[in-house]
Structure 1
Amino acid sequence: MELSSGSSSSSKYGGRKVCDCGLPAKIFKSKTARNPHRKFFRCELYKEGGNAHCKFFRWVDEEEVKGWPRQALVEAQVEINEKNRMISQLKSTIMELRDDLEKHQLEMSSKNVEMETTVYRQRIVITGLTGLLVCAIGAIVFG
């Protein structure tokens, strides 16, 4: 449903958009892949079988915005840009924290291996000393 803009000297009366033939323009929703769900104004007689009608067509989001609504849109865009900047900073911070966490996990893993090695060696020494102590006591007692 690719529609093109025809002659459009549209105006608004009482807050309603009026097409070139003087009828109130209706709002429709696009069903095309190029503009999915995008709203547009169209003459209510557009594509009426055999009737003479205007070819009025205008995208809703391309209407000229003046006064305070325009200022509200500008302010909203500034806020959106600021939030996008904050999101970008937070994503960067998250990546840095993940990198730090991985480094600390590697350090802890390496320290854990060192501690396990130390404990193993201490057990061997204690086992050897216990054997020597048993031999010494046996030599004293049975001597």
Structure 2
Amino acid sequence: MTISYVRMSSLSSSLQPLCFCELGSTLRYSNTKRNPNRPFFCCPKYNTKGLPYCKYFKWADGDQCRELDLQARLNEVERKEKEVLKRLSNIEKMEIELRKRAAEIEKKEMVQSTRDEAFLKRELVLQK
């Protein structure tokens, strides 16, 4: 029986069984003719660069698989939400920095404008 790795999900520890190594098992999908796309649990070290792994294997039932998929989707949504909030915070910080820089430039332009006016007045006085 050939089983190949198709997908790993980020799972809630309360839903996924422990393998014989006492690690949270990994949900994968069979890629065999006999059990196409059938979900199963196995040792997370299975098929990973020669690491030793236990022989844990258990077919996942439909309800359990759906719960795990929903939990994985929820985890992904929460991760993306945190990422969006972080980006929003960075944008707000950049906006504040840009406003500070714009105020500094405006202040320098006003000072320069005042100096230019004073210079022109002196030039006019000297020309008379």
TM-score normalised by the chain length of structure 2 = 0.50
- Alignment RMSD, CA only? 1.8
Distance of 2:126 and 2:64 partners within structure 1: 92
Q: In the alignment, residue 71 of structure 1 is paired with which amino acid?
A: D
- Give, in whole Å, the separation in 1 of the partners of 2:65 and 2:105: 59
CA distance in 2, matches of 1:109, 1:132: 35
Counterpart for residue 121 of structure 1: 111
Aligned-pair distance for 1:74?
1.9
Task: Give the superposition deviation at 1:78.
Answer: 1.5
Aligned counterpart in structure 2 of residue 74 of structure 1, from 51, 56, 64:
64
The one of 58, 79, 90 aligned to 2:80:
90
* Secondary structure in 2 matching 1:103: helix
> Relative contact order (C-alpha < 8 Å, sep 6+): which is higher?
2
Q: C-alpha separation between the residues in 1 aligned to 2:109 and 2:67?
A: 62
**Equivalent runs, 1:1-143 vs 2, <5 Å:** 71-138=61-128
CA displacement at 1:72 relative to structure 2: 2.2
Q: Which amino acid aligns with 1:93?
A: E
Q: TM-score, normalised by structure 1?
A: 0.45
Give me the whole-angstrom Cα distance separating, in 1, the residues matched to 2:92 and 2:111. 29
Contiguous gaps of at least 5 residues in structure 1:
1-69, 139-143
Q: Alignment length, in residue pairs?
A: 70
Kindly, what percent of the aligned residue pairs are identical?
9
Following superposition, the deviation at residue 83 of structure 1 comes to: 0.5
User: Which amino acid in structure 1 is aligned with residue 67 of structure 2?
Assistant: Q
Q: Structure 2: any 5+ residue segments left out of the alignment? A: 1-59
CA deviation after TM superposition for structure 1 residue 137, in Å: 1.8
CA deviation vs aligned residue, 1:97-134 (integer Å, no higher than 9, x gap): 12111111111111111111001001101101111111
Amino acid at match of 2:111: R
Would you identify which runs of 4 or more consecutive aligned residues in structure 1 move more than 3 Å?
none
C-alpha distance in structure 2 between counterparts of 1:126 and 1:76, whole Å: 73
